[in-house]
């Protein structure tokens, strides 16, 4: 039995309203099979991955043509969710995109929950938690500065900073434990309180600046402030 986390989901990926293009996205094991049921054109199972294919969306129950479309085929694992992804590019408009969405739902897809495509990317290891948060930050960005910060976070800069800080703390703890358990070892640097403070002074200073900058542009800065406090607490426990 396919669990809810790994069934095939679908949603409209563009804002509802009049526009040149609307996109209905599917992600999951059955994405390609569902698309084949409603698409008339090239055999999608025989086209190359990451290609766009011209055709029509047709209701197989009555052969009614719903729209002239371009269908993007992106096969696992080289997709955002690391699942098979199909994007049906329709003419923009509320009626046509909703009609096509309802069609794929009737033929095996489930309506995606808010943020579920990003959730799939996280569960499948495509992005970590900070990168998943950055996706929404990019969407909600109101200024260039906010967007630039979010893009850097999506690129993994925050994850690297967290991992580097974590490793720095672990290395210090390891040295302290050696000092305590094996005081006779002369070739191990003695970790005095002053030395520990000096080792972590730069990272603590950087975290404070980092958090202060995010106060201006991010509503969830409390997350970063909390992380900074956690890092400081861990270091203080060594003193």
Q: What is the mean pLDDT of residues 93-110?
A: 95
CB atoms within 10 A of CB 136: 14
**Confidence check: pLDDT of 1 > 50:** no
Same domain, 171 and 231: yes
Quick one: which H or E segment has residue 120? helix 116-123
- Place 216 in a pLDDT band, splitting at 50, 70 and 90: very low
**Confidence check: pLDDT of 7 > 90:** yes
Question: Bigger pLDDT: 2 or 39?
Answer: 39
Same domain, 36 and 140: no
> What is the tens place of the pLDDT at every residue in 180-193?
777 766 666 676 77
Q: What is the mean pLDDT of residues 40-56?
A: 97
- Do 39 and 30 contact (CB within 8 A), yes or no? no
Total structural domains within the chain: 2
Least confident among 15-19, 96-100, 232-236: 232-236
Same domain, 109 and 146: no
Same domain, 140 and 120: no
Residue ranges with strand state E in the chain: 9-12, 21-27, 39-41, 51-59, 64-74, 85-91, 110-111
Which residue, 125, 142, 172, sits at the end of a domain?
125
Same domain, 96 and 118: yes
Same domain, 153 and 121: no
Domain encompassing residue 186: 134-238
Which residue, 125, 151, 186, sits at the end of a domain?
125
The pLDDT, as a whole number, for residue 224 is: 52
Same domain, 51 and 153: no
Same domain, 8 and 111: yes
> What is the tens place of the pLDDT at every residue in 77-99?
999 999 999 999 999 889 999 99
CATH of the domain at 56: 3.30.1360.120
Provide the β-strand partners of residue 27: 9, 85
3, 73, 163 from 7: Cα distances, Å: 6, 18, 32
The pLDDT, as a whole number, for residue 118 is: 86
Same domain, 83 and 168: no
For the entire predicted model, the pTM comes to: 0.65
Same domain, 13 and 42: yes
The pLDDT, as a whole number, for residue 22 is: 95
- Which residue is associated with the tokens 């191990």? 188
Which residue, 105, 125, 145, sits at the end of a domain?
125
> What is the tens place of the pLDDT at every residue in 136-167?
676 666 777 667 766 766 676 666 777 777 77
Same domain, 8 and 121: yes
Same domain, 118 and 146: no
């Amino acid at each position: 039995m396919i669990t809810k986390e790994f069934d095939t989901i679908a949603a409209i990926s563009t804002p509802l309203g009049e526009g040149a293009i609307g996109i209905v996205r599917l992600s999951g094991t059955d994405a390609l099979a569902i698309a084949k049921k409603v698409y008339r054109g090239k055999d999608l199972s025989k086209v190359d991955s990451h290609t766009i294919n011209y055709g029509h969306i047709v209701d197989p129950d009555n052969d009614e043509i719903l729209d002239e479309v371009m269908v993007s085929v992106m096969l696992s694992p080289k997709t955002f969710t690391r699942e098979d992804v199909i994007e049906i590019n329709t003419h923009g408009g509320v009626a046509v995109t909703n009609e096509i969405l309802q069609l794929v739902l009737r033929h095996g897809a489930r309506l995606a929950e808010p943020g579920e495509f990003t959730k799939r990317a996280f569960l499948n290891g495509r992005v970590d938690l900070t990168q998943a948060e950055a996706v929404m930050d990019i969407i909600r960005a109101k200024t260039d500065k906010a967007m630039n910060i979010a893009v850097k976070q999506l690129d993994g800069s925050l994850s690297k900073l967290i991992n580097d800080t974590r490793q720095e703390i672990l290395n210090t703890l390891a040295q302290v434990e050696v000092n305590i358990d094996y005081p006779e070892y002369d070739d191990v640097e003695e970790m005095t309180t002053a030395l520990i403070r000096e080792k972590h002074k730069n990272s603590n200073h950087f975290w404070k600046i980092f958090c202060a900058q995010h106060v201006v542009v991010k509503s969830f800065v409390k997350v970063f402030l909390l992380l900074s406090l956690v890092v400081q607490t861990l270091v203080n426990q060594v003193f």
